[in-house]
Structure 1
């Protein structure tokens, strides 16, 4: 189908949040989408929930993995089972605003962009607190992104016709950061849409809420995935910390 969007959603013990996530996709004003839910061997009721939705809606596909292999593998299984020209990412505890795909696809197609992202708003686990909106800059290239990892995975849409096929690097963490860098090294620029179109849930105990782990993960990408030397890694890391602080001021 023309301009089909394949939405990539890995799940793991997501029963508390997954229905709101799925509901935000079903409610999209842009209707030419497929949602691919890949469960990474959950032990709660997540599998039953996603199977229920896949039986009810033809545009929703559920895939159950019988061994926990990590979020990168789950996303890649979803990508490999996708049919769309466009690939969008949405994690199971996050959700979109109803016009997200419509506005972002219009932004991409009118401007002939291959790689886009939007502003988004972090929220508390129980949704009672809404934090400062993370505003999307106009554009990000490789050098800028090394110093400011501002792109929210839940906001990204990629035109596979322009970039060619891709998978997330199968590393333990920061797979999304590594993928964006891979695309940028090929010359693709990520263009930001200023509108706040997604809500990013900060779940207690998650990688996002663990600041020390987040710092370690970024350093790992610099040194191991990008093979940057120590001095340049430290230079980029200094700007990364400054920009991370600015997000919260």
Structure 2
């Protein structure tokens, strides 16, 4: 296990402002046995050119181009099919990993005989400045907890394909990360988080401006489409989801003075 290959999946779309820094945060890992599988979702800016410049000097980086814009779910699934590693990890093109992220997670999996783990993460703004906010998930997360709130930052999750196989990713454009981790927790019932902060999540201006109605709609779709619930049951679950988001999840968000 200590030398097992880790496949890192990065979907990109018009990510020229951030992709170089994201890739460098992987290249700076203390654990070096990894491959990056980048799938570009028909970018119209210089994203592909920047990736090609970097991968010309690092054979661990692979790139695949989608002919038309299909969403992150399709892009991630394309990368997943090509992945060769025992472990699968995810990083979005605008997020960053701390240098010991992979090593600490792999050690934690090995030492505790686990097949999946995740961690806390700090929030930064578009320019990479700390926002003074840390998201700390439950250290022992149950399926029932995850059912009503996605406590797992997608940039922190890592799982063992020897246990799960390759877990297919939904092609739904929104919330497929939550559905992915629900699939994991449905099998193992509980998951343990590395009790450290190992990544930086970039809060984008366009994500802040997303309407509350759209957020409700996308989360409702998880209960209606992924779980296949009837309208009344899905609405009931959504009420409990909103309660969890507003009354419980804030306790897992802490103010910090962090530096990058």
TM-score band by shorter chain is over 0.9
Any unmatched runs of 5+ in structure 2? 255-260
- Residue 244 and residue 210 in structure 1: after superposition, are their counterparts in 2 closer, same or farther (change >3 A)? farther
1:69 maps to which residue? 70
Match of 2:12 in 1: 11
Contact 1:114 1:162 in 2 (8 A): yes
Contact 1:148 / 1:243 at 8 angstroms: preserved in 2?
no
Q: Gaps spanning 5+ residues in structure 1: where?
A: none
TM, length-normalised to structure 1: 0.93
Superposed CA offset, 1:63-109 (max 9, x none): 11121111000001111111000000000000100000000100011
Partners of 2:10 and 2:93 in 1: how far apart? 6
Counterpart in 2 of 1:240?
A: 245
RMSD of equivalent CA atoms: 1.8
Q: Displacement, 1:127?
A: 2.1
CA distance in 2, matches of 1:35, 1:248: 30
1:166 CA drift (Å): 1.2
Aligned pairs, how many?
Answer: 248
Contact conserved, 2:136 with 2:253, CA < 8 A, in 1? Answer: no
Distance in 1 (alpha carbons) for counterparts of 2:224 and 2:196: 33
**Aligned counterpart, 1:215:** 216
Aligned to 1:38: 39
Residues 133-148 of structure 1: matches in 2 within 5 Å? 133-148=134-149
Q: Residue in 2 aligned with 1:100?
A: 101
TM (norm. structure 2) is 0.89
Q: Is the 8 A contact 1:115 1:188 kept in 2?
A: no
Q: Which moved more, 1:81-90 or 1:215-224?
A: 215-224
For residues 134 and 89 of structure 2, the distance between their equivalents in structure 1, rounded to whole angstroms, comes to 20
Distance 1:150 1:110, change over 3 A: same
CA distance, structure 2, for counterparts of residue 136 and residue 240 of structure 1: 13
1:101-156 residue CA offsets vs partner (Å, 9 max, x unmatched): 00010001111111110000111111234231111321222211122311100000
Asked if structure 1 preserves the Cα contact closer than 8 Å seen for 2:137 and 2:252, the reply is no
Q: State the match for 2:86 in structure 1.
A: 85
For the residue of structure 1 that corresponds to 2:64, the secondary structure is strand
Partner of 1:151 in structure 2? 152
